[in-house]
Structure formats: C-alpha cells, structure tokens
Amino acid sequence: MSWASFNVLEVMSSQKYPQKKVGYLAAIQSFRPDTEVLMLAENLLKKDLTSPTPIIIALPLTAIPHVINSSMANSLLSDLLPRLTHSQPAIRKKTIVTLYRLALVYPETLRPAWPKIKERLLDDDEDSSVTAAIVNVVCELSWRRPQDFLPLAPRLFDLLVQRENNWMAIKIIKLFATLTPLEPRLIKKLLPPLTTIIKTTPAMSLLYECINGIIQGGILEGAGGTTEGEEIARLCVGKLRSMLVVEGDPNLKYVALLAFDKIVKSHSHLVALHQDVILDCIDDADISIRMRALDLVVGMVNSDNLTTIVGKLMRQLRHAPIASAVDNPANDRSTANGVEPLADSEDEDPEEPLGPAETKYDQTPPLPEDYRIGVIRRILEMCSWETYVNITDFEWYIDVLVQLVRVCPALKATGKVGEDHIYSGGPLSSQSDISHEIGDELRNVAVRVKSVRAEAINAAQNLILLDRREQMFPAAGNGGQGVLEYSAWLVGEFSSYLNNPHGVLTSLVHPSTAQLPSNVLTIYVQAVPKVFVSLTGGQQYSWTRERKTSVSLLLARIVHFLEPLAVHPSLEVQERAVEFLDLMKLVSEAVSGQEPATTEDDYADPPLLLTQAIPSLFTGQELNPVAIGAQRKVPLPDDLDFDAPINENLHSLLQQAEHDIPAGADEDDMYYFYNQPPSAYVQPQTAADRLGSAPIEVTSYQQADEGYLDPDILAKRKAEKRERNRDDPFYIGTDHRSGTSTPIHNIIKNTNEELDVDSIPIMNLDLEGSDRALETRARTDTAKRKPRRHFEIMTDENIGSDDPISSRDSSRSDLVRPSQAKGKRSVLVVDSSGLGSLSLEDDRNSGKLDVELREAEAKALKEVERLRLEMQRASERILAKDVPEEGILVKRKKKKKPREVEVSESVEPGEVPVVKKKKKKPKESEGSTAADGETEVKPKKKNKKVREVGLEEGEAVGGS
C-alpha cells in the first residue's frame, strides 16, 4: 500500500473523527518504521496528542507503537509524558504501553519517563487498569535488569495481597521470581500469600504460574529445611498431581510435567511418591507428553523404583508396534477435517456430511523410531547415573542391556556417495546407532564391576555366537549391529572367562564376518589371536597328536580367514590382518615342527611360541578405567621430538610398495568401499523356517509382568523365587493345580458319602493370634528375603590429586544432562536487548536524553580540537628577524564620517540643487531663560545618519 501513503496521511489529518479514525487504521496496517512519508506525519501525531478530546488522543497512542522509529521516539517523548497525568484512565494506560514501545525502539527514552511511571505505580488511588499496565511493563523490563526494581517490592507485595486481578497477580509472581535471587529475605515474606493463593484459587492459570514462580524464584531451595518450605513443597506437588489426573486436557498434563521436571531437582523424594500417575503419562497417546514424562522419570529415579521404571519402559519397547507412515495422523486428511458435500442446485439437498475419523484408543499406540531411541538412551542414563549409584543388582542390569539390543531400531544410511557415512569404516555416532551406547555400557560394567565380570562376558559371548544371532538381535533390519564391536573386545580381552571359546572363535572367523563394517571387523581381527591363545596356550597338558591336530586345524582356519583381509580397503583392518597373519604362520611352522608324545603316559612340551611367546603379547597389567583429565597430567619425555621422522627410508619403502603391486590389480574394490554403502548382512534363512515361523502376536505391554526378559532368564528367576518360598506356609506354589484342592474337598472327592454340615466343628476366631501370625509371617519374609549383594565398583584412575575439573570429568560426563540456559524471548517483534545496558538508578543526567548527552560530548570534542589546532598553528608560525616574539602593535586608521549637507528648498524643476554647508549653532547656556522668564531645558538630540533622498519632478525638496 505504499502507493496510497499520501492519501492515508491526508485522511489522517481530517477534522472529522470517523474519517480520522479510518486514516489511523490504514496507517497502522500500511505504515512501517521505514516508510518515507512517516516524517510528514510526525507533526500530525504531535498535534493530535495535545488535543483536548480523549478519543482524538487515543488514535495516535494506538498508532505510534506500530510505526515508531528511533528518530521519532526522541521527538514524541515530550508530548507523551504529559499524557501520564491525563484525567482519563484509558489515556494513561495507553500512554504506559506506548512508552514501553518507545523504550524498545530507543532505550534512552525510558530514563526520563521512569520517574513519572513509578509515581503512577506508587499512587494508591490510581485506577486498577493503569496499575495493571504498569505491572506488565515492569515485568517485561525486570528480567533484563531486576536490580533496578527492588525498591518497588513493598508496593508489589501489597498488590499481590490485594489480588484484584488474576492476570496482574500472575505478572507480580513472575516479577518476584526475578527479585528473590537478589533479595533472599523476600522468600520468608512471600510464603504466606503464595500458600494462600495455591490453596484458594480456582483458576488453573494462576495456580500453575504460582507454582512455577515458586520453583524459578528459588523459594523451595531458600526455604529448604524449614517447616514452611516442606509444607509448600508438598502442596505444590499435590496440586500438580491433580493436574495430571484431569482427563481430557492434555495442556494441563504437559505444563504439570514441566513443573514436575523443575521441582524434581530439589525435592525428588516428593516427586517419587507420585510415580504412579507419572508413569501413566508414559502410555499417553500424545507423544509430547510421553517425552516430558521420560525427562521427568530420569530425575526422580532412585534405588527403590529403578527396577519398576525400567520394567515399564522395557515392556513398552518390547510390545508396542513400530510407527509407520500410515500411522502418521498428518497423512490422513480425514482425521483432521470432515468432508462437507455441497448441493448441485437449489432443489437438491446436500448429502450427509462425513465426520472426522474416530481415533481408536483401545489399541496400543505405535512408537516412532526417534521415541524408541530416546527411551533406550534414558534407560541407560538412569541406570548409569553417578557411576551406578542406583543399581543394586548388576545381573539384572546385564539382562536389561541384552534385551535392549533386541529392540534397537533399524539403522538408516543417510550418507551420500563420496561422503563419510555410517558404512565407510568410521565409528558410528551415538545419534546414528544407539547400540554403540549399549555396548559401551556392557563394556563399562565388565571393566568396573569385577564380581559380575563373568556374567558380562557370558552376555558378550551370546551376542557373538552365530547360533544365538537370531535370538539376540532384531528379527528385521540391521539394528543393534554396533554392539558387536564392544562384545568382540570383551571376549578378546577377557577370554579366560569364556565357557565356549571354540564357538566364539568359530563365530569370529566365520566367512560372514568379512561383510561387517570395518570398525567392527577391526576388533574382530584383534580378538581372534587372544581367543586362540586361551584355547591352545596351556602348559599343563601334554603335546599329543590330538592336540597337535586340533591346533593345526585352528591355525588353518585363522590363516584362511586373515588372508583375504590382508588386502582390505580399510587400513586398520589391513594392518592387523597382515601382522597376525605372519604371526599365525610362524606358529603353524612351530606346531608342525614340534613332535608329539609317542604314548599317552609320556609328557611332551608344547611349542614355546604357542605357550609363552604369543601369550606374553596380550598379558600384562590389568586394564582399569582412566579419568578423562589424567591424560593432561602425563609429563612429556625430554627426548621426544615430533619433527623427527619415524623411518628415514619411508619414501623408498612407499615407492617399492607401489612397484610390488601386480599389474592386473583391480581398483574397483577400493572405490566401492569408500564411495558405495555395502548392503547390510542378513542371516540366511531357509524356506522351511519361514513357513514354520508363527506370526508374532502383539500384546499390550501394560498387562505384561516381566515380558521384557528372555524365557531362560525368567525360568532362572522363578526357580530362585520357588527356592526362597519353599518353606513358607503362606505361599501357594505355582506347581499345584488350580481349583479346589483343600483337604476337605479331597475328602468329598474321594468319598461318595454326603457331607454332614452339622458335624463340622466350629472354632473360635482368635484375632490376636492372627495378628501374631501376620507378624511372624512378616519376620519370615524379611528373613527369607534375598540379601542385597555388595558390589565393588572401580573408580577412574588419575595422576596426583583430583582437582575439581578432573573429578567432574571422570564421572560419566557423556550421560550427565548439561544445564541449558533458556533465554527468554520478548513477546513483541522488536528486540529488547538494548534495555539490558540501560540503568534507571543513574540520576546524574536523568533529565537529559542520550542524544543530548552525545551532542554535548561532540561539542566539547570540537572545542578541544579547535584549541589544539590554534596551538599547533602558533607553534608553526614563522617570525621575522627584527620583530619581537610578542609582535608589533599596529594602529588602525579610523574612517572619516561623511559631512551632513543641507539642500536648498527653493529649487526649480530641472535645476540642480545647491548644497549648503550646515552651520554650527552656538551652545546655549544652561542658565538661559525664556521670554516668559522660565528656564527652558532642551532635550539632547541624537545624531541622525545621512540618508539619500530621491527627487522627483514637481516635488519640492525639504531641508532638514
């Protein structure tokens, strides 16, 4: 509408109010701060601001916030400030909002306006609407510089107690949330009114903001340890629980979970009491509520409820279906809006409209892959928090890690051709494959907790074995593949703990291993000689023919596996394959040259290369966890030179290697490896297995007890439970058949005679005895309860004293949630960052604007520059020889004044007038008297300047 700017300006200047109103409305819609004709409207705005009619004043007050710029703000401020004392409250309220807009555009305008705004706020007789507007403005300004508004705390407290308006109370609570960190004494003052509001208010918005202000203002932490603080904490948690149980309002659930997430940091024990309603939110159909509930359960977890929470999440992952594109509501247009058909003509009626599709809530909601990854990551975070402080049973944790591999989502290849992607041989990031984090946790437990190292190695062995591959990994996709890297490291490093080393070695050298990613294949090649040593390196057995034959066969299989890898495109795989291939060939020669024992009773020594040399390569000091900051404390050796070449003949060796390449070598494999993602390895499956496999029935994870565990693990746990409860008379075993199997029913079943009811003896019911029996049962349960096993967890090794930085780094920093500072964003479009450096306490130049101060400063700088130039010119001035330094005084001649002449009055037309000289009149004596005898005093005449007189024909020239 830039073409109509002048027309809009013309309508704005109309004297009729309806036309003026339309013009201002058009200006609000079309004008912007950079509009060219806006400078012409400045005088019109100033004129309407000074109008005596309130409805005319309201028009510019409404339009200024939309069109104001920095140049207009300084000019209009002087006209806006008098409007703060207007008789109409509506004008004062609009002026407050307009001044805030001016402060956003030009922050210096707030300093001269603040005293009058503060005066309006402190006035007890001020209208409530004006007070509410001032509170809103102060609330928006306080989060930038809250220290400037501390003197207003008494007045704000009175307004909070009066509570005339719920919205103003919300703003005041937010304002106090920024002031309490600066003045801790406000906490004790605010507790009674806030408690009263929480107990009595029926408004959910005020209730939530009150709880949120208590949390953000640090009132819970400040009042911690006191009776009042514990009371208000319990009150807040109880009110938040009531928000969660409200049905049909997901917004209340969401904000309640947000408040719970903030309060759990200081009062996690109170939040844990309401874990039942929080865990119900994990099953909510809204995915955003699920995510907030997940964030909350991570903070409220402890050693008592860890098993319950993890079991709930595991059942959800195991039994809930995977979301697909069909399940996405955004792809179904009928779920959002119904179909409303129209009639073809006036005589026809429209057909029956098709309403929105009904949402089926009886089915388990599908889980997207991002949500599954988030759930797995939070399970690992809860269990490994503060180096496993909440875990009391590490065997259970190992079972959970193994089960998490089964529910890993399929890995998606996002890399492009020519770029590094997940199949290029580099390590997978945690965001691309969650199984890497699972494997890292399994390795961390095996290294840190020695008492369960055998169980951890057994779990890694089951993941490596090919015959367990279908049971341990997802049925479809390549999910969980990253855990193989860590499992191979465990079976190689702790090969002495393996109970099936032959099966592990067979799985490591299987032909399908070559199709694994290069980072996994590297660890596989590294683990092969370690497992081989654990099988064949024993000296206590004699070197028999059977042993020689088995070792030779193992060596042949290893050599056959390593030979193709010697030319692998990955340098890491190629380097290890070449080294171990040569080593295995040496061992093969030593084995073939060592003669076995002739008889069974004789003892023959095995080859020393097999029993001593190779095992010494992999034995030494035990690997322990090392702190992250310990590497920085290792001193550098004095003789270390990074510039010295490792090998002087490196260049010649590389040239020789290039000449040794066969002429017919094919380079397509190398290009294929680094540029094309290989297809994921899929275990071959016969047609009979496919036909015989029954479809998996998806059951509800809400009804399962321990469905997230494997059948063998469940059988072991049930056997332990039966053993504990075998002698318990109050426990009914599951081995008995269900039904009526009591002794009285057995008598009835075995005999055909009718039972005489009257002959049944009646016994007295001893209530005290029953109470004693219950106590005895409780003591029996306590005595038979499985004792808690003590686990010793290794800490990170460090050098020297643990400084705060290194000790913090040594903890699980990869699983610690970083504290993210959430910056507030202004509601208005204009950036308010300029108000952060504006101080309202500086009264030194409170009456001047920043523009005036800058102009005065520029003027002073110009004066200083002028004086400097004068001094420079004086020092560079050239003086004559015989002239003194102070110079010669030169007198200036005065100009002669023109004489005054008189023109004769009798001049004929056409003649030149004769100029007569004016005669000097003698001065009269002061004592001269007039003819009438009185003394005459003449006033002193002023000298008149000579002026030129124009003469025309027919006119007489008058003399003076």
Q: What tens digit of pLDDT does each residue of 669-687 get?
A: 555 555 555 444 444 444 3
Residues linked to residue 929 through DSSP beta bridges, in sequence order: 935
Query: Average pLDDT of 889-894?
Result: 62
Tokens encoding 13? 């200047």
Query: Average pLDDT of 612-636?
Result: 83
Q: What is the largest distance, in Å, between two alpha-carbon atoms of the chain?
A: 183
pLDDT in tens, 355-378: 444 444 445 667 888 888 999 999
The pLDDT of residue 677 is 52
The pLDDT of residue 572 is 93
The pLDDT of residue 25 is 93
625 vs 740, higher pLDDT:
625
Please choose, from the candidates 605, 565, 604, 603, the residue with its C-alpha nearest in 3D space to the C-alpha of residue 584. Answer: 565
Tokens encoding 299? 């903070």
The pLDDT of residue 955 is 44
Asked whether residue 562 carries a pLDDT value surpassing 90, the answer given is yes
Query: Average pLDDT of 577-585?
Result: 92
The pLDDT of residue 265 is 84
Query: Average pLDDT of 856-879?
Result: 82
Asked whether residue 698 carries a pLDDT value surpassing 90, the answer given is no
pLDDT band at 713, cuts 50/70/90?
A: low
Residues of the chain by 3-state class (helix, strand, coil), percent to 5: 55, 0, 40
Asked whether residue 150 carries a pLDDT value surpassing 80, the answer given is yes
The pLDDT of residue 95 is 94
Least confident of 60-74, 787-801, 826-840: 826-840
Cα distance between residue 401 and residue 462, in whole Å:
12
Query: Average pLDDT of 820-831?
Result: 45
C-alpha angle with apex 476: 474 to 480, nearest 5 degrees? 40
| Rounded (10°) CA dihedral 106, 111, 112, 114 | 110
Tokens encoding 139? 């609330």
Backbone dihedral region for residue 487 (phi beyond 0: left; psi -120 to 50: alpha; all else: beta): alpha
Mark 890-913 as b/e (b = at least 16 C-beta within 10 Å). Answer: eeeeeeeeeeeeeeeeeeeeeeeb
3-state secondary structure of 946: coil
Tokens encoding 440? 């890292």
Highest-confidence range of 91-105, 425-439, 725-739, by mean pLDDT? 91-105
Asked whether residue 658 carries a pLDDT value surpassing 50, the answer given is yes
pLDDT band at 507, cuts 50/70/90?
A: very high
Contact present, 121 and 131 (Cβ < 8 Å): yes
Cα distance between residue 630 and residue 802, in whole Å:
9
Amino acid letter at 943?
A: N
The pLDDT of residue 354 is 47
What are φ and ψ of residue 339, in 5° steps? -95, 120
Q: Hey, how many other C-beta atoms are within 10 angstroms of the C-beta on 343?
A: 10
Least confident of 414-428, 547-561, 879-893: 414-428
Asked whether residue 269 carries a pLDDT value surpassing 60, the answer given is yes
Cα distance between residue 129 and residue 165, in whole Å:
9
| Rounded (10°) CA dihedral 11, 16, 18, 19 | -10
Q: How many residues does the chain have?
A: 960
Query: DSSP label at 363?
Result: S
The pLDDT of residue 108 is 86
The pLDDT of residue 764 is 56
Tokens encoding 171? 């703003």
User: Structural domain boundaries of the chain?
Assistant: 381-499, 500-619, 699-784, 847-959
Asked whether residue 752 carries a pLDDT value surpassing 80, the answer given is no
Asked whether residue 332 carries a pLDDT value surpassing 80, the answer given is no
Cα distance between residue 559 and residue 588, in whole Å:
9
H or E stretch at 198: helix 185-200
The pLDDT of residue 684 is 47
593 vs 905, higher pLDDT:
593
Least confident of 601-610, 644-653, 922-931: 922-931
pLDDT band at 334, cuts 50/70/90?
A: very low
Contact present, 152 and 118 (Cβ < 8 Å): yes
What are φ and ψ of residue 171, in 5° steps? -65, -40
Asked whether residue 168 carries a pLDDT value surpassing 70, the answer given is yes
Instruction: Collect all residues with Cβ–Cβ distance below 8 Å to 577 and sequence separation of at least 6.
Output: 525, 562, 565, 566, 568
The pLDDT of residue 231 is 87
Burial label, 636 (beta-carbon count in 10 A; 0-12, 13-18, 19+): exposed
What are φ and ψ of residue 322, in 5° steps? -85, 135
Cα distance between residue 555 and residue 147, in whole Å:
78
Highest-confidence range of 133-142, 361-370, 699-708, by mean pLDDT? 133-142
C-alpha of 899 from chain center: 96
Asked whether residue 784 carries a pLDDT value surpassing 60, the answer given is no
The pLDDT of residue 907 is 47
C-alpha of 694 from chain center: 45
Could you write out the DSSP letters of every residue in 825-866? --SSSS--GGGGG--S---TTTTS-HHHHHHHHHHHHHHHHH
Contact present, 711 and 399 (Cβ < 8 Å): no
Tokens encoding 2? 């830039």
Alpha helices in 264-331 (DSSP H): 268-272, 275-282, 287-300, 306-319
Asked whether residue 408 carries a pLDDT value surpassing 50, the answer given is yes
Instruction: Collect all residues with Cβ–Cβ distance below 8 Å to 919 and sequence separation of at least 6.
Output: none
Instruction: Collect all residues with Cβ–Cβ distance below 8 Å to 277 and sequence separation of at least 6.
Output: 241, 244, 245
Contact present, 442 and 487 (Cβ < 8 Å): yes
Residues linked to residue 409 through DSSP beta bridges, in sequence order: none
Cα distance between residue 526 and residue 501, in whole Å:
15
Cα distance between residue 592 and residue 586, in whole Å:
10
Highest-confidence range of 69-73, 122-126, 218-222, by mean pLDDT? 122-126
Residue 855's Cβ-side half-sphere holds a number of Cα atoms within 13 Å equal to 5
The pLDDT of residue 158 is 92
Query: Average pLDDT of 204-214?
Result: 90
Collect contacts of 859-868 with beta carbons under 8 A, ≥24 apart. Answer: none
Instruction: Collect all residues with Cβ–Cβ distance below 8 Å to 911 and sequence separation of at least 6.
Output: none
Asked whether residue 807 carries a pLDDT value surpassing 50, the answer given is no
Contact present, 416 and 326 (Cβ < 8 Å): no
Cα distance between residue 105 and residue 71, in whole Å:
10
480 vs 238, higher pLDDT:
238
The pLDDT of residue 272 is 86
Could you write out the DSSP letters of every residue in 755-781? P-GGGSPP----HHHHHHHHHHHHHHH
The pLDDT of residue 813 is 44
3-state secondary structure of 322: strand
Burial label, 425 (beta-carbon count in 10 A; 0-12, 13-18, 19+): buried
Query: Average pLDDT of 449-453?
Result: 90
The pLDDT of residue 913 is 53
Cα distance between residue 161 and residue 226, in whole Å:
23
3-state secondary structure of 354: strand
3-state secondary structure of 916: strand
What are φ and ψ of residue 509, in 5° steps? -100, 15
pLDDT band at 423, cuts 50/70/90?
A: very low
State the chain's mean pLDDT as an integer. Answer: 75
Query: Average pLDDT of 389-416?
Result: 82
Could you write out the DSSP letters of every residue in 98-146? HHHHHHHH-GGGHHHHHHHHHHHHH-TTS-HHHHHHHHHHHHHHHTT-G
pLDDT band at 287, cuts 50/70/90?
A: confident
Cα distance between residue 575 and residue 123, in whole Å:
84
